[in-house]
Structure 1
Amino acid sequence: MEGLQVLKDAVVGGISNILSFFATLLDYLNPYSNNFILKPIINLFNTLITYLNPFSENFILKPIIEFLTTLIDWLNPFSDNFILKIAFIPQSEEFELKKQELIDTFTQKFIFYDNIVDMFKQIKNLGSGSSAPPTFKITLPSKYGGGTYSIIDFSYFTDYRIYILNFQRCIMWFFFIKGIFRSLPKTTSLQG
């Protein structure tokens, strides 16, 4: 009986060794396993791909592209890093203080400057409808009954104000363009 037990143990041990061998072999052949035989080659290819991918942080030409981007930024006259702007326009705090001092001196010498700026802002905002429409009022002396009366109140036209202003603009543009087209032949002719 013992001989059979030894034989059985040997057969079971041999079969388990064969199964273990095939499990290890399948583990080395399974591409999803950590022990895959080609895993170092795949890691190498992944590393190479990250160096060749232009959208990767490890792109091999990234320093060259960054240098060219900086160079183009220096040569672009509309950039804040334009080389002539950096070289010839001062960017110190002292310059900003002198500039503000010059602006303050100008506004003190020419007091009407702020009034002109405000006038142009009001003219600009006329068509936006954001400002209140003008009202013309008259104050009568007490001899004639006293009180303040509205002569012309444009608040009745507030709903139509934008349309009226746009109609006026169209008429003005029409006559301006008409005058340009009339004078265009004289302007383009080669005769004096």
Structure 2
Amino acid sequence: MSLYESIAAFQPFNEQEATDKEVILHALKSDPHCLDRSAQAHMTCSIWTVDAAMKQTLMVYHNVYDSWSWIGGHADGEHDLAAVALRELEEETGVANAHLVPCGPEGIFSLEVLTVDGHEKRGAYVGSHLHLNVTYLAIADPKEPLRIKPDENNAVAWMPLTEAIERSSEPWIRDRIYRKLIDKLAAF
């Protein structure tokens, strides 16, 4: 199944996902560059990583956002966003033995369109843009060794689900996205 077909088959959990699904599908259909970060709106993926009991989540302290954050990255031309998400998990945290939970089509757990304000990264200015984000759900062992990725984060930690909300300094992400992901886990 193609990325477009997987997202088209995804059943939204709420109005935000339904709206964002249409935006993502439109970009995939109309912009041949949306898998590359050169596009104003481009594909990214996140991986909401929990322990087997689904009581804790793995978060990083993200340098650009100056906040505790989920793990993720850019598609950079790749269509297999699940593979990208797992690679990002290992690169950003050191966790190498996580497994994806089969949720929706091709493992899609959630969809989001995320605004990114202009910022400095590695000494260069990055203009404001949109992340057309596909989120995957993974289970990992909290006993697995963790490490930071200094150019992206300065801390990695497991924390109770509600603490992930409390420790985020990004109101929209905290209240609309992390809360939604936790609600989806409860319904899972």
Q: Which has the higher strand share?
A: 2
TM interval, short-chain normalised? under 0.3
Q: Which has the higher helix share?
A: 1
What TM-score do you get using the length of structure 1 for normalisation? 0.16
